[in-house]
Amino acid sequence: MYSERILRLKRELRKKRKSACLITSLTNIRYLAGFTGSYACLLLCDREDVLFTDFRYQEQSAREVSTCRCVITSKDLFVFIASYAKKLGIKDLSLEDTIIYKRYEYLSRHFSLTMLSDVVEDLRIVKDASEIELIKEAIKKAEDAFIKIKGHIKAGVTERSIALRLEESMKHNGVDKIAFDTIVASGKNSALPHAKPTQKKLEKGDLVVIDWGGESGGYFSDMTRTLLVKGPNIEKQKEIYDVVLTANTSAIEGIRTELTAPQVDAIARQVITDAGHGQRFGHGTGHGVGLEVHEKPRVSAKAPKLLIKDGMVFTVEPGIYIPNLGGVRIEDMVVVSEGKAQRLTTLPRNIEIV
């Protein structure tokens, strides 16, 4: 698996007429070599592929990395790498453009440098079967955690207490990392797409947006459900919920490999615009999810015109946000398979009144 990923990257580098590359992003190092530590660089070149780290990860790197040579050093990592690369005869070195400037400045004294943008991230867009299975596990852990605490979501309970219970439930379910700070926003707060949980208590008639996710084997999940607290005068809340659900369903059913990411966004956006709420849907329809919660592909009107491909995993999360009333967002994760989308999230999407 990892050797194939490195070979794919080297093929891309050869297309750019590059032979030696230093990977400094820990996420990309994990993708290419399987190393999960917090301190490493990965040198890829014609003569050998080398993972550099320090004594803290000597045993761990030996266990996790099988397709590269592991070199342990007590010296400054970049000083040591520069010396090592020179001994290999490397004069031209490609770097990820996310490298810290002072590291770039140091290496520029020793090599002719070329910056690479998203070369590994572009490989990560299409997931293999093992990645999709880990994403499914991350989804199940997060969904099961939500089911366990859903009975706590009712009038009189604070947003913060719901968020804390949900995160604790995910931890109990075997999630090592919470994907992001859990969003629980009720009433007027739910009109803020990225609201933080507060001590506000849920009230009758409140829309309650809950956005959460967890991790399994390094891969993440991300989902949103909007609940409605029982109360009088909730017809408007139901109306905007139905519009968002139609937008979500239409986009998922409309996904095809001959479409671009902006065209998928347009499907959801048109439903909301036709309902008179176009100005209340200001974010993109979705984003890729994998080793990072937000990664390629972007599914938005402003995204590159990237064709949808089998193996892509991304969210579909249209929303409507109305000040002084509240907001609705319904977020599912999908995988593209045999030319169309399959929904990975399994929680009910019809409106739930609690």
Residue 286: CA count within 13 A, CB half-sphere? 35
38-71, pLDDT tens digit by residue?
Answer: 999 999 998 999 999 999 999 999 999 999 999 9
The pLDDT score that the predictor gives to residue 18 is 87
* Overall average pLDDT of the 80-85 stretch: 96
Q: What residues form DSSP beta bridges with 94?
A: 21, 114
Number of structural domains (the chain) is 2
Q: What is the enclosing helix (H) or strand (E) of 261?
A: helix 261-274
204 and 333 inside one domain: yes
CA 169 to chain centre: 21
- CATH of residue 27: 3.40.350.10
Residues 8 and 99 in one domain: yes
Q: What is the pLDDT of residue 315?
A: 98
Residues 164, 97, single domain; the answer is no
Which of 79, 95, 124 is the C-terminal boundary of a domain?
A: 124
Mean pLDDT of 87-110: 95
pLDDT at 1: 84
The pLDDT mean for the chain works out to: 96
Show which of 73, 93, 124 is a domain's final residue.
124
Whether residues 215 and 290 share a domain: the answer is yes
pLDDT tens figures, 121-131 = 999 999 999 99
pLDDT of residue 205: 95
Together in a domain, 288 and 139: yes
Specify whether 96 is located in the same domain as 190: no
Q: In this structure, are 219 and 156 located in the same domain?
A: yes
Q: What is the pLDDT of residues 255-311, one digit of tens each?
A: 999 999 999 999 999 999 999 999 999 999 999 999 999 999 999 999 989 999 999
End-to-end CA gap in the chain: 46
If asked whether residues 304 and 328 sit together in one domain, one would say yes
Range of the domain at 19: 2-124
* φ, ψ at 305 (rounded to 5°): -80, 65
Q: Distance between CA 326 and CA 209 in Å, rounded?
A: 9
158: domain CATH number is 3.90.230.10
Based on the fold, state whether residues 112 and 160 are members of the same structural domain. no
For residues 209 and 332, state if they share a domain: yes
Q: Which of 98, 124, 150 is the last residue of a domain?
A: 124
Please indicate, yes or no, whether residues 282 and 150 belong to a single structural domain of this protein: yes
Contacts of 31 (CB under 8 A, 6+ apart): 5, 120, 123, 124, 291
- Read off the pTM: 0.94
The amino acid at residue 70 is C
CA dihedral 139, 141, 142, 143 (to 10 degrees): 80
Query: What does each C-alpha distance from 74 to 26, 54, 102, 320 come to in angstroms?
Result: 19, 6, 20, 54
Q: Are residues 94 and 154 in the same domain?
A: no
Confidence class for position 349, pLDDT limits 50, 70, 90: very high
